[in-house]
A = this chain, B = another copy of it.
């Protein structure tokens, strides 16, 4: 059984607080990607992208597999699940509408 510290949640939420990193995580759900591939959609230096990846790595949201000169980045969803669980734990008194939104349950239009 893994223990979770509140500082882990700090790091997770911090990592999720930037659109660039969220967008990286979203792409990584499909497949692992190299640093250059991850950088491609963004209008910023490779170095900036490298730093975003380092922050994701520090939050344990991605892992890195070095293969020659290529670094393959893949997503680790566990901390996101923890973050989601924290939010759900707050939801005890929420309205059914918000509950459904949070859980992405389909509802009639």
Binding site for B on A (CB under 8 A): 6-7, 9-14, 16-19, 22, 25-26, 29-30, 77-78, 80-94, 98-99, 101-104
Contact = CB atoms under 8 A, between A and B. Distances in A.
A80 B87 contact: yes
Contacts of A13: 13-14, 16-17
B18 A17 contact: no
23 contacts: A9-B17, A10-B17, A12-B17, A13-B13, A13-B16, A13-B17, A14-B17, A16-B86, A17-B17, A29-B92, A77-B98, A80-B90, A80-B102, A81-B101, A82-B101, A83-B87, A84-B87, A84-B103, A85-B102, A87-B87, A88-B103, A88-B104, A89-B104
